[in-house]
Amino acid sequence: MMRKPLGRGLDALIGNGAAGVESGGVDNGDAQFRMAPVGSITPGAFQPRLNFDQDRLAELTRAIQSQGIIEPLIVRRIDAPEADGPRYELIAGERRLRAARAAGLETVPIIVRDLDDRAALEMSLVENIVREDLNAVEEGLAFFRLVDHFGLTHDEIASRVGKSRPYVGNTLRLLELPQSILNMIAKRELTAGQARPLLSIQSAEAQLSAARRIAAMGLSARGAEEMATANRPRGKTAAARAAGDANLNALAEGLQRALKRKVRIFKRRGRNPGRIEIDYYDDNDLTAVAEMLLGNARASMRA
């Protein structure tokens, strides 16, 4: 079985501690490799994943029974009476721990790290993202926790998890959808791309109705966007009325590529002025948009 790469984010958090697995080894600065009883490890308080695929877990259990655990679990030390021996909280590797228990292993390889709560959440989040194990709702909840509990900006989250700032903002916005739709995303009945257009529909009932039709019809993200557009109030479809103007469409697409944000151009009608709308996702994102626009304006004045 080939070991999957950890990815830049997780590798940087772990450091070189995993090298101790091959060397049998031990202390590596603030990371120590050792074997630990399965019963000494408690589930992580910062595990972002809420759903575990039982079929994949069974496959991993069989692999561990055959070959053991190739990649050590990441843990941090927690207080416990000395008579009970060291106790650990799991940071990364819950699927491996569950499979090890199911396989009947008594001990598992671990790397012990000295981490505060924020670093523990970051590492657990990055580990799951690298393995592509999280659904969009789990990612959004983890991002929200980093914002709400630890005060991280979208830029800071993006740099830590190796994603773009718009990706972080878009994932957080999904949490604004009704819980019933979030459940559909969590069950992978809807993808994030299919669900995101639903945010433009004002009524929760209409959002849910559209979500069910998207899932039943297996629409693409583009098809979901078209359905959401059809569900918007007629008084707010000026952008749709401009859809037949190829020049405006091309201009809007060019602006979207340059700004990396959704742009809508509303065509001038009679004496009413036209307008341009640019989406932003928080105060920091608004500042970034303003800086880009002001920078372009200054460059144009100098020219």
Catalytically active residues, by annotation: 94
Pairing mode, strands 31-37 and 73-78: unpaired
Rounded to the nearest 10 degrees, the angle between the axes of helix 165-173 and helix 154-161 is 110
**62 DSSP 8-state letter:** H
How far apart CA 129 and CA 10 sit, in angstroms, is: 10
Nearest to 289 by CA among 166, 193, 160, 140: 166
Nearest to 13 by CA among 118, 107, 87, 98: 118
Alpha helix segments (H runs only) across the chain: 8-14, 19-23, 54-67, 94-103, 117-130, 136-148, 154-161, 165-173, 179-186, 192-195, 204-217, 221-231, 238-241, 246-259, 283-302
Using DSSP's 3-state secondary structure scheme, residue 261 falls into coil
Which residues, in sequence order, are CB contacts of 120 under 8 Å at separation 6+? Answer: 44, 45, 46, 76, 89, 91
How far apart CA 177 and CA 182 sit, in angstroms, is: 7
Using DSSP's 3-state secondary structure scheme, residue 171 falls into helix
Nearest to 109 by CA among 44, 18, 9, 179: 18
The number of beta carbons lying within 10 Å of the beta carbon of residue 97 is 22
